[in-house]
Structure 1
Amino acid sequence: MPLTSRPARIDGLDVARALAIFGMFAAHIGNDSAEDGWPWLSVAHGRPSALFAVLAGISITLMLTRRAGVTGDLAPASAVAHTRVRVAVRALILIPMGYVLSWLETPVVVILANLGVMFLLSLVAFRWRARWLWVGAAACVALGQFAVRSITPAVQEWGVYGTPPLEKLWSEHYPAITWMGYLLAGMAIGRLALTLRRTQALLGAAGLVGLALVAGVEALAGGADATSQSAWLATVAHTYSPLEMAGNLASASLVIGLCLWLGQVARPVMWPLMAAGSMALTLYVAHIILIAVVGDEIVWESTNVAYLAVCLSAIAFASLWRWLVDQGPLEKVLSVASMAAADAVVGEDSRPSVSRGAGS
C-alpha cells in the first residue's frame, strides 16, 4: 500500500539507537553491582544489543520504502535491486570491520560481523509481506537456538564450524540463525506508519503486554532461578532461549514506541541523543577502540564514573559533529560506498528522491 510522506530521518529512531549504544556501553563498562554500583544497569545485559538489531531491521525496510514509496512487497524490481545492493555492500563492510575489532582482543564480543551476516540473510526477505516477516521472526525466536544446537555437531564434523564468516550463523554469541528473529521483526515494524501517535502507542502497549507475559511465564515456571537452566524458558541474558528473546523483543518494542513519541514531543531536549543515535556505528567502534587502548581493566574493574565519562564524551562529540558536519564518519562511509555500488550495478536512474532515510 502507498506510504504517507515521511521526514528524511525519524528522530525517535535515533533516540532509540542512542539508548541501544549507551546500553551496550553500560553492559561493557558500567558497574551494576549491588554493593558499589547501580543495580538497575543490569537491564543493559542482552536488551540493548537486541534493540540494536531490531533497529537495523527497521532501517533496512526504510531504505527500501523511502525509494519505492510503497511497502517492500509492492516495490518495483529496480527499487528492490538497488536497495539489495546497498544492504549487501554495508554487510561486506561490517563483516571485516567486526573481525578487525575482534582482533583487538578486548573482553567485548563484537556484534558487527554477525550483523553483517544477518544483513546478507535479510536480502531474501525484502518482498515478504508483513505477516510473513512476523512468521519468520517468530520461527527464529522459537526455534533458532534449537537449530543452532542441532547443527553444531554436524558443522564441527564437517570442519566448517570456525570458518569465517560462515561461523556467525551458529556462533556462541549473536548466532545469526537465531538473531534473524530480531532483524525480521524490525523489518516488519518498519512497515508501520512510525510517525503516527497510534502506532507509537501500539508499539508501547505491545511491549508492556509482552514483558508482562514473559514475567508471568517465568513466575509460573518458578522464577529466574528455576528457569536459568532451561533451554526454552531461561531469561538470563544471552542464553537466546525463546523466552529471553521474546522479552528482548517486547523491551525493544516498548523503547521504540516511547522514543518515537519523545522524538516528536521533546525534540529540542532529545537532540543530543538524536545526534548520538545518528552515528551509532561510529560510537560503537570508538568504544571498542577505547577499551583496547585503555586496557581490560575498564571492563573488569568497571566504575560508573568511567561509564558516565564515556557517555558524555560520546554525546559531546556526536553533537558537535552533527552540528558541524552532519552525518557520522563511519555512517558516511557506508552511505557513500553502498550508494555508489548500487548506482553502478543497478543504475542511478532508480536512485530514491530522498537519499538519506532514517538510519540509511
Structure 2
Amino acid sequence: MHPSTADAMGSADAGEPRRRIDGLDVARAVAILGMVGSHTGDEGIRGADSDGWGWLAVTHGHPSALFAVLAGVSMTLMVTRRGTLPVTALPRDDLSGARVRIAVRAAILIILGFFMSALGTPVAVILGNLGLMFLLALPMLRWRSGVLLAGAGAFAVGGRWLARIASEWAGDSGMELVPVVGALWSEHYPALAWMAYIMVGLALGRMDLRATGTAVGLLVGGGATAAAAWTVGWALRMELSGASDSTIENWLTDEDHSYTPVEMVLNIGVACAVIGLALLLAARWPRALWPLASAGSMALTLYVAHLIVIAIVGAEMVWEPSNVSFVALALGLVAFACVWRAAVGQGPLERVLTSTSTALAAPRP
C-alpha cells in the first residue's frame, strides 16, 4: 500500500483541509442507492418470466458491505486530515481529538439507529450496529495496515462462528437484553463479523486515494479477489456436495448476509473494485458524476430519508416492491442532494455529526 503523506499534496499546506475525494462520494452513493434498491426494488423471480429486474440481485449484501468499508475509510481520513499526513505522524493530542470525534459520531449513530428502528419499517437498520463498530475501531486507528488486514481476515473467517457462540452465551446469561451490546452478535450486521469490513476500510484509507495507480489497483485487485472467492466457494461446494448442509451454510455459501468466509471475502473484493472504479470515473468525469457525488456526500441523510419515506408509505413498499417506486425514490434522493449541496453545502445530518463531534472534541480552556 502507498501511504498518503503531505508530500503527495505538492505545495498544499498540511494544516489546510484537502478537498473531498469525489470518487469516495460516488462510491457512497452507489452503496446508499444499492440499499434503497435492496429494500424497495423488484428483483423478480429468478429463472421465471417476471417484470422484475434480475440485476437487482447485486443490491443484496454488497451495498451494505461497501457502506461499512467506506465507513472505515472515512475514519482513517479523519485521523490523517484527509490524507495530508501518515497515521503514525499524527500528534498525540490530535489522535485523542479524532477518537473523541469518532466516539461522538458513534453515539449519534446508535441513538439515530434506535429512532429509525422505532419507525417499525421492515428494514434491518444498520446505524446502531455501525455505531458500535466505530467504537470497536477506536483502538485500531494507528494499527499497521498489515495488522488491520490480518485482523480483517480473522473476522471474515471466524466472525460468523464467533457471533453464533456469543449469541448462545448471551441467551444463557441474559445479556441479549442489554442495549447496543447485542449488535456484536445480532442476526443482521453482527459486529463480530462486520469488523472485517471496517478494518479493510481503515487500511484502504492509508492509501493515496487520489492516485490513478491506487484506483486501478483497487479495481483490478478487488475484482480478482471477488472472482477468486466466488470460484473457490463454488468449487468447494461442488467437491463437498455430500457434506452436511450445516457445513455449506456455515462456511461455503455465498448467499447474501450469510457472513461465511466466502461471502465476506466476496463482498470485500466487490467493495474494493467499486471504490477503485468510482475513483477512476470521478477523476475522469467529475461534472457528469457530480449528482452522485452530491448524494454520496450526504449518505447518512439519504439513508435516514429513505427509511422515513418507507415508514410514511407503509410496509407494502418493501413487501410489495415496485421498480417505479424504487426509481422515483432514488431520483428524488439524488435530486434533493443536488439542490441541498448547491444551496447549503454539507448535508443536514452530516452537519450535525460534524458540529457536535467537533465541539465535544475541542480542547477545554
The share of aligned pairs that are identical, in percent, is: 47
Counterpart of 2:301 (choices 262, 282, 288) is: 282
Q: Does 1:16 align with 2:16?
A: no
Structure 1 contact 73–126 (Cα < 8 Å) conserved: no
| C-alpha displacement of 1:259 | 0.2
Structure 1 contact 74–127 (Cα < 8 Å) conserved: no
Structure 2 contact 18–82 (Cα < 8 Å) conserved: no
Q: Does 1:94 align with 2:109?
A: yes
- In the alignment, what sits opposite 2:12? none
Structure 2 contact 215–280 (Cα < 8 Å) conserved: yes
* Aligned pairs, number: 346
SS at match of 1:221: helix
- In the alignment, what sits opposite 1:354? none
| C-alpha displacement of 1:7 | 3.5
Q: Does 1:240 align with 2:240?
A: no
SS at match of 1:217: helix
Distance between the aligned counterparts of 2:85 and 2:265, measured in 1?
Answer: 29
SS at match of 1:110: coil
The one-letter code of the counterpart of 2:105 is R
Q: Does 1:37 align with 2:56?
A: no
Q: Unpaired runs of 5+ in structure 1? A: 348-360
SS at match of 2:250: coil
Higher relative contact order (CA 8 A, sep 6+): 1
Q: 1:67 to 1:267 in 2, by over 3 A?
A: closer
User: How big is the alpha-carbon RMSD for the aligned residues of Structure 1 and Structure 2?
Assistant: 1.8
The one-letter code of the counterpart of 2:280 is W
| C-alpha displacement of 1:243 | 0.6
- In the alignment, what sits opposite 1:256? 275
- In the alignment, what sits opposite 1:117? 132
- In the alignment, what sits opposite 1:26? 37
Distance between the aligned counterparts of 1:169 and 1:261, measured in 2?
Answer: 35
Distance between the aligned counterparts of 2:286 and 2:254, measured in 1?
Answer: 34
- In the alignment, what sits opposite 2:284? 265
Structure 2 contact 43–54 (Cα < 8 Å) conserved: yes
Q: Unpaired runs of 5+ in structure 2? A: 10-16
Structure 2 contact 254–260 (Cα < 8 Å) conserved: yes
| C-alpha displacement of 1:153 | 1.7
| C-alpha displacement of 1:68 | 8.4
Counterpart of 1:306 (choices 314, 325, 335) is: 325
Structure 1 contact 32–42 (Cα < 8 Å) conserved: yes
| C-alpha displacement of 1:213 | 0.6
Distance between the aligned counterparts of 2:144 and 2:96, measured in 1?
Answer: 17
Structure 2 contact 230–254 (Cα < 8 Å) conserved: no
The one-letter code of the counterpart of 1:308 is V
Q: Give matches, 1:30-69, under 5 Å.
A: 30-34=41-45, 35-66=50-81, 69=84
Q: Does 1:204 align with 2:204?
A: no
- In the alignment, what sits opposite 2:357? 338
- In the alignment, what sits opposite 1:353? none
TM-score of the two chains, using structure 1 as the length reference: 0.93
The one-letter code of the counterpart of 2:304 is V
Q: 1:344 to 1:78 in 2, by over 3 A?
A: closer
